[in-house]
Amino acid sequence: MKITVVGAGNVGATLAQRLIEKDFADIALVDVVEGIPQGKALDLRQSANVLGFTHKLIGSNSYEVTAGSDIVVITAGIARKPGMTRDELIGINARIVREVVEKSLAVSSNAVFIIVTNPVDAMTYLALKVSGLPRERIFGLSGVLDGGRLAAFIAEELNVDARDVVPCVMGEHGGSMVVYPRFTTVKGMPLSVLADAAKQQALAERTVNGGAEIVGFLKTGSAFYAPSASVAHMVNAVVNDSGTRMNCAAYLDGEYGLSDVVLGVPVRLGRRGIEEIVELPLNDDELAALKASSEAVRKLIAALNL
Ligand SMILES: NC(=O)c1ccc[n+]([C@@H]2O[C@H](COP(=O)([O-])OP(=O)(O)OC[C@H]3O[C@@H](n4cnc5c(N)ncnc54)[C@H](O)[C@@H]3O)[C@@H](O)[C@H]2O)c1
Ligand SMILES: O=C(O)C[C@H](O)C(=O)O
């Protein structure tokens, strides 16, 4: 098993660390900046003795080292600064994602692609169109991270164990993301029952602004610990062919009544990527919120001028 991580910045390097410590695959770490992937890979390799992993980890500015990858994770691109939305990254990141997809695919034609670069729904759509790959093989990080945030906030607010929360956040990884209290549970009990309307609203708002809250603290970059943990969770499902259900940015072709758009929905992940898109029985209001979110993503996709 071989996994490539493109972008050796905060998310990419932390992901490489998480993955090599699992010791289930060789890792190739690529970045455009000379010395960064080499230095970070060398540093990580020097932890093999104390951590006891045996797989290879190589850093490079060239895609040669990525040849034959089973999974390619794309974290290359610019992160937002305080006051910016993710949407404002679209111009520069679209150029980067296009280049990275083309170069990666040229040497790893059978890989499953996981897109992290923002705005992730539009970048996943772009990667699909540039690669021409079937939709099963390209999907993006959204709901695992947004759901992780919701779970953390619920744990704090309701004084419960975050591990008992099964969160459900769908739609755009952006301002129009939708928290679904009826489908978010704590030990099997829906959030819609456990919390009053005002508390549900406050939890949803904090989740939607979860990324910006961290950007506001960090000032010079965006979140990377929970994002890299979330991608590692997705990679794990693919490597182990687990069929685990989680919410990801996926291309819709009629599911939820929506087509030709990438949006966060529940999927099952396995060795071939998306094994199934799960359609929850949303009521009219819940469906309307998802449709509104899809319209926000469609505007971004239109701006790509594909
Ligand atoms: N989808 C999500 O939930 C999610 C979560 C966290 C971050 N992100 C996004 O992921 C991206 C990376 O975030 P980060 O915090 O790691 O940023 P970062 O600035 O720390 O790292 C980005 C890296 O990409 C590299 N890069 C730029 N152009 C490249 C190219 N053409 N080829 C290869 N590498 C290139 C840079 O040199 C840098 O090392 C951002 O767009 C951020 O918004 C998305
Ligand atoms: O907030 C960001 O810009 C990065 C990422 O999308 C996140 O949600 O942490």
Tell me what ipTM this predicted complex has.
Answer: 0.99
The residue among 33, 78, 26 whose CA lies nearest residue 60 is 33
Distance (Å) from CA 80 to ligand 2 centroid: 8
Which pTM was predicted? 0.99
Q: Residue 182 has which token pair?
A: 């009826």
Q: What ligand is nearest to the CA atom of residue 234?
A: 1
Confidence of residue 233 (pLDDT cuts 50, 70, 90): very high
Q: Hey, is 148 helix, strand or coil?
A: helix
CA–CA gap between residue 175 and residue 195 (Å, rounded): 23
Signed CA dihedral, 132, 135, 137, 143: sign only: positive
Set out the domains of the chain in order of their start, with CATH numbers.
Answer: 2-141 (3.40.50.720), 143-303 (3.90.110.10)
Which residues are the active-site residues? 173
Distance (Å) from CA 75 to ligand 2 centroid: 12
Share of the chain above pLDDT 90, in %: 100
96 lines ligand 1 (CB under 6 A): yes
Mutate to test the pocket of ligand 1, among 6, 31, 104 (most ligand atoms within 8 A of CB): 31
Q: Residue 170 has which token pair?
A: 């769908």
Confidence of residue 164 (pLDDT cuts 50, 70, 90): very high
194 lines ligand 1 (CB under 6 A): no
Helix 36-45 to helix 10-22 angle (10° resolution) is 30
**pLDDT per residue as tens digits for the range 62-82:** 999 999 999 999 999 999 999
CA–CA gap between residue 83 and residue 297 (Å, rounded): 20
Distance (Å) from CA 53 to ligand 2 centroid: 30
149 lines ligand 2 (CB under 6 A): no
Beta-carbon-side half-sphere exposure of residue 140 (alpha carbons within 13 Å) = 31
Token pair 């359609």 is at which residue?
279
CA–CA gap between residue 27 and residue 231 (Å, rounded): 14
